[in-house]
Amino acid sequence: MTTNPELSYEEGAMPSISEVVLAAVQQPEAEAKEDPAFHGHTRAESFGVGAAFINLAAADKNTTISVLGDDGGALHKVVATEIVNNPVQLTNPPPILQNSILLIHPKLPDVTYTIAAAYRRNLMVTAVIPKVNDGTKSLSLHPTASRLLEAGVHQVYEPPVSAKFDVMECCYHLKTMEAQQNLRFLGVIPCRESSVDIADMLAALLGLRNGNDLGLSGARRDKGLMKLAVANAGLRVAKYARLTRSDGGEVVNAIKELELEFPVVVKTPRGWSTQDVYICNSMEDAIEKASKIVKSVGPDGRKTQYALLEEFLDGDEFAVNLIASPTTPRGVQVTDLWMYHKVFMHGTMVNTWQSMVDPHDKKYASLVRYGEGVCRAVGIKYGMAHIELKAVYDEKVGRWINPAMIEVGARLAGGRKAVMAEATIPGWRPFDAMVDAHCGFPVHIPPSFRPEKQAYHVYVPSDKEGIVTKIEGSDFERLPTYYAHAQLAQVGKRVSKSKELASFAAQLWLRGDPDEVLRDAKRARAEFKLEVEPVPEVCEDDTKPKLDEDEPIAVSPVSVPSV
């Protein structure tokens, strides 16, 4: 358990809760944080409890604190020993002094917005890191405890050094924290695709009412169970088969039984960000890819037990983002809708850009209804949802029809879609709504989700392989509709041909009038040039970057402005 040592007292002094609160209240307004996102809150004002755990010198002398792991204990403090004089003595417990939210495996590009939303509600922020960064991963996407504390998180739980994360052990620590720090966890927020099932289990183990249906937890993570649950709800899904043989020997019979025509899709069952997704145009290719997936370890670090063979759906691809809460009129509501613009190359569908469209437009009505039905089918009742689907445009009726799900995620959409939705939809605050939904608070819904500006997420590709020697056209700020960007390619670093989201040279976010945004998207892709020095060919798996969900690896990103 890592705590934030921001407040300081004389060594050996153990301030009371009232002293901390009084000190926070008496602090002059001139000393308040300058960041408007904090709305005048100091960390002490938002903390309100656990003062004894803030001063590390005092914590070292406290018998209820011990060091977690064997790395010196500079930051790693965890609730450990406890002395109870009379366990059977009946006393009235003190009132709850502080409520807290739990963030599971947060990423810095998003967590700052979530922290600001929690501060506005006077909520303490506790983070859980299931996988500790060993120094080989990006600190932006895999922050350490100290980086999270710097970002404004109040305390962090992570497993001991060299130990694997155990959800039961984590729950025991969190329940002890509730008792000893006199706080209450109100909601558990998954911050990436791989933490959805952990959030479901922790919410149930902590006894929270506002957790998603645990019986359908598998349907929110496993793409096979996901399709089964959606199909059982009477909604259309792609034909599919599970393939378990490591030699791909089931592919021929599966394609015959499903009456599929090429191309077909072969994918890993628990991936993200288009990783290990293959579009196969021949039987030999489908057998090879199915065998490769069954023999491999998936993007989530677990041994893959089977591969999914799916029908290749015709039509255009969309992303439907939703908010789920019993306090909304229909229990679940579409907030923003994105159309994907992809081209087939390198054996898969490759992104060019994604454009936000109006969910209130009648031509997208079937997508909105279908998306809400998918959420209900997989048991998403609290928090955000992100659904990818395909639909065919009917020229006669002027609408997209026959939507079919690709996959659904019970978490905030990646690719900064929530940030762009906040920047274009008047009155919509997605991070505030997410915190409210997970905590069981009433969610504020704006009168309309119609965007007042056009938003684009542009993927700037690399068509070469090798070591980058020169970059041109990376000054994206020159574009009139520029909003933000993330630079992935760097001089002296290796790049590969852009297929998966991690392999793009840069990613760019634009906002403005539709014609101007489209013009700038084309210009950004056309004017971006890389000069590379070829390197000897190696096995694809040795160089393929592993990306966490659909967030770019921001090597040198420009911060997304708060909106």
Q: Which of 74-78, 331-335, 382-386, 444-448 has the lowest mean pLDDT?
A: 74-78
Instruction: Answer whether 205's CB lies under 8 Å from 168's CB.
Output: yes
Cβ atoms within 10 Å of 62's Cβ, excluding its own: 14
What is the total residue count of the chain?
563
Q: What is the distance between the alpha carbons of residues 290 and 246, in angstroms, rounded to a whole number?
A: 8
pLDDT at 44: 38
Cα 296 versus chain centre, distance: 24
- Note the pLDDT tens digit of each residue in 366-402: 999 999 999 999 999 999 999 999 999 999 999 999 9
> Which residues have C-beta within 8 Å of that of residue 297, sequence separation ≥ 6?
303, 304
Q: Lowest mean pLDDT of 38-52, 126-140, 181-195, 217-231, name the range.
A: 38-52
Question: pLDDT confidence of 259, banded at 50, 70, 90?
Answer: very high
Q: Is 389 buried (19+), middle (13-18) or exposed (0-12) by CB count in 10 A?
A: buried
Structure tokens at 36: 């408007």
Residue 90 — very low, low, confident or very high, per pLDDT cuts 50/70/90? low
pLDDT tens track for 405-419: 999 999 999 889 999
Whether 483 and 420 have beta carbons less than 8 Å apart is answered as: yes
pLDDT over 80 (residue 21): no
The mean pLDDT value for 465-478 works out to: 94
Query: Which residue type is seen at 177?
Result: M
pLDDT of 77 strictly over 80: no
Distance CA 196, CA 498 (A): 28
Omega before residue 263 within 30° of 0, cis? yes
The pLDDT score that the predictor gives to residue 78 is: 57
- At 424, is the pLDDT very low, low, confident or very high (cuts 50, 70, 90)? very high
406-427 as b/e, with b when 16 or more CB fall inside 10 Å? Answer: bbbbbbbbbbbbbbbbbbbbee
Q: In what order do the strands lie in the sheet with 332-345?
A: 399-409, 383-394, 316-324, 332-345, 348-357, 454-460, 506-512, 482-487
Dihedral angle computed from the Cα positions of residues 199, 201, 207 and 209, in that order, rounded to the nearest 10 degrees:
60
Asked whether 186 and 202 are in contact (CB, 8 A), the reply is: no
Per-residue pLDDT, 181: 84
Q: What is the pLDDT of residues 270-323, one digit of tens each?
A: 665 567 788 889 999 999 998 888 877 655 556 667 888 999 999 999 999 999
Mean pLDDT of 522-531: 94
CB contact at 8 A, 485 and 451: no
Distances (CA, A) of 398 to 195, 339, 363, 393, 402: 39, 16, 6, 7, 13
Considering 7-21, 152-166, 394-408, the range whose residues carry the highest mean pLDDT is 394-408
Token digits of residue 103: 């963030």
User: For residues 363 and 386, what is the distance between their CA atoms, to the nearest angstrom?
Assistant: 20
Rounded to the nearest 10 degrees, the angle between the axes of helix 430-439 and helix 108-120 is: 70
pLDDT of residue 370: 97
Q: What are the pLDDT digits (tens) for 431-469?
A: 999 999 999 999 999 999 999 999 999 999 988 889 999
Mean pLDDT of the 55-69 span: 44
Q: How far apart are CA 472 and CA 529, in angstroms?
A: 5
Taking all residues of the chain, what is their mean pLDDT, rounded to a whole number? 81
Structure tokens at 126: 């506790």
C-alpha count within 13 angstroms, C-beta hemisphere, residue 495: 30
Residue 228 clears pLDDT 90, i.e. is over it: yes
What pLDDT, on the 0 to 100 scale, is given for residue 362? 96
Q: Which of the four pLDDT bands, split at 50, 70 and 90, describes residue 39?
A: very low
Supply the pLDDT for residue 332: 96
Q: Is the pLDDT of residue 67 over 70?
A: no
Mean pLDDT of 336-351: 86
Q: Of the given ranges (208-212, 372-376, 489-493, 534-538), which has the lowest mean pLDDT?
A: 534-538
Q: What is the percent of the chain where pLDDT is above 70? A: 76
Residue 284 pLDDT: 92
Could you tell me which residue, 383 or 552, shows the higher pLDDT? 383
Higher pLDDT, 9 or 364: 364
Task: Determine which helix (DSSP H) or strand (DSSP E) holds 338, and give its type and residue range.
Answer: strand 332-345
Q: Could you give the CA distance from residue 373 to residue 112 in angstroms, rounded to a whole number?
A: 31
pLDDT at residue 10 in the model: 42
Using alpha carbons, select from 132, 125, 170, 169 the residue that is nearest to residue 150.
125
